[in-house]
Structure 1
């Protein structure tokens, strides 16, 4: 599937107004991309498709390498029957959702770098995430520290990053972004990822570390968020006399 977004410049319907096969398949693929591994039943419910229609689109996406089956991880006793099969996006599937303005954005940043220097690209990247910080900072100050990563994940998902948060065994958290709208541009200009990571640290009020990025070829963007207790201890230590 060379273009999952439609046959001609985003066209997803026939002249009759009935969704085309390609258009519906694109909706299935995008739902899998944005919501992580999902079951066929969940896809049918969300999109209003029959089980036979869902299976047809899944089979096509599987044969094209756009999606892959995943093993469901369940806690405790599930009961009789096999666990529901999940379907997740592949790297090929994710790359099919390239944005139309990637080339234009890349050219603009190259022009900026060539004429004003790398510092101008860094400043541009920081300006791009400034809106996220301004929008979330007031709310972040009003909620407990342990709820901030979840709020950030929800905000990023609303912006198209399909983000989630999980606790780690060390008391910290991981922020995962399953989709990156600017991945192809960020591959050439890492300042975009760096500015985003800096913004996460300011919003969450604790040190963060980027462990993986889609721009560098990883399956998802993963950011480790340090426990807030560690951040408080670091601030106290830095204020001790003689330091």
Structure 2
């Protein structure tokens, strides 16, 4: 009588697959957190994720090998000299931004190129203005805080919900109390590299939503690891002048009325 033996290999393979999927999910979460919190250390990520520093460093090493994160060199933190080797702080690279953005950037860029070539650059500026006017209409009812810092935090939360990995960080030392609105991810980064009208329209939208002037310090499209916007915490009587979609300047001179 013959005896039938079950294959030895299928069960172990089935057991390994979920672990592989979990690794991919964790690595994606690490990438998203680097976008939100960066520059950030492995230890800080580990505390946020509830993992060991060694596990996080393994994910970071793989992401670095894939060109999705890179080490940020900003010198000693807070002006304090430290003995020994400083902790490596990570930010998302251009490759990581591409992964977070998905595969539609080139299609969007082609569409705007066609619009520019067929109608003119003013059509691109008008499109950007219309896009962010819609953002203002959508966000405005959700910004209920009257305190400037709380209002900026509400805006950051709305931006994060839309995939911008935004946060508000206090600025130490300026004469005027200030916070920085940081966006660790830009879904339109590769399009904005060619069409800066998108960044300009976004800054105008932030100014309108926050009820004060803002100053854009850096953009991902310009090569920085995050979009950084300075937001003063005092009410001003003069809005910053921005180029309008038609190339003219506009601003609110409330103090002169």
TM bucket (normalised to shorter chain) is 0.7 to 0.9
Q: Are 1:34 and 1:160, in contact at CA under 8 Å, matched by a contact in 2?
A: no
In the TM superposition, residue 191 of structure 1 has moved relative to its aligned partner by: 1.0
- Is 1:115 the counterpart of 2:118? The answer is yes
2:36 corresponds to which of 18, 25, 34: 34
193 and 96 in structure 1: CA distance in 2 versus 1, 3 angstrom threshold: closer
Unaligned runs of 5+ in 2: 1-13, 240-251
Greater mean deviation of Cα atoms: 179-188 or 30-39: 30-39
Q: Which residue of 2 aligns with 1:195?
A: 201
**How far apart are residue 38 of structure 1 and its match?**
4.0
SS in structure 1 at match of 2:103: coil
Contact 2:159 2:165 in 1 (8 A): yes
Residue 131 of structure 2 aligns with which residue? Answer: 128
The residue correspondences of 1:69-88 to structure 2 (distance < 5 A) are 73=77, 85=87, 87-88=89-90
- 1:14-93 correspondence to structure 2 within 5 Å: 16-20=17-21, 21-22=23-24, 24-41=26-43, 43-44=45-46, 47=49, 49=51, 52-64=54-66, 66-68=69-71, 73=77, 85=87, 87-93=89-95
Deviation at 1:195, TM superposition (A): 0.9
Query: How far apart are 1:142 and its partner, in Å?
Result: 4.9
Instruction: Check conservation: 2:167, 2:182, Cα contact below 8 A.
Output: yes
Aligned equivalents of 2:94, 2:41: Cα separation in 1: 20
Q: Quote the offset at 1:25 in angstroms.
A: 3.0
Query: Which structure would you say has the larger Rg?
Result: 2
**Which residue of the partner structure matches residue 4 of structure 1?**
none
> Aligned with 1:170: secondary structure?
coil
Provide the residue aligned with 2:167 in structure 1: 164
C-alpha separation between the residues in 1 aligned to 2:29 and 2:145?
Answer: 37
Aligned residues: 223
The 1:14–1:45 alpha-carbon spacing in structure 2 relative to 1, beyond 3 Å, is farther
User: Could you give the per-residue CA deviations for residues 44-92 of structure 1, whole angstroms, max 9, x where no partner exists?
Assistant: 465565555333223333455523277895899xxxxx99946422434
Matching of residue 101 in structure 1 with residue 104 in structure 2: yes
Q: Output aligned runs, 1:145-164, within 5 Å.
A: 145-164=148-167
- After TM superposition, the structure 1 stretch with the greater mean CA deviation from structure 2, 171-180 or 182-191, is 171-180
Distance 1:48 1:226, change over 3 A: closer
RMSD, matched Cα: 3.6
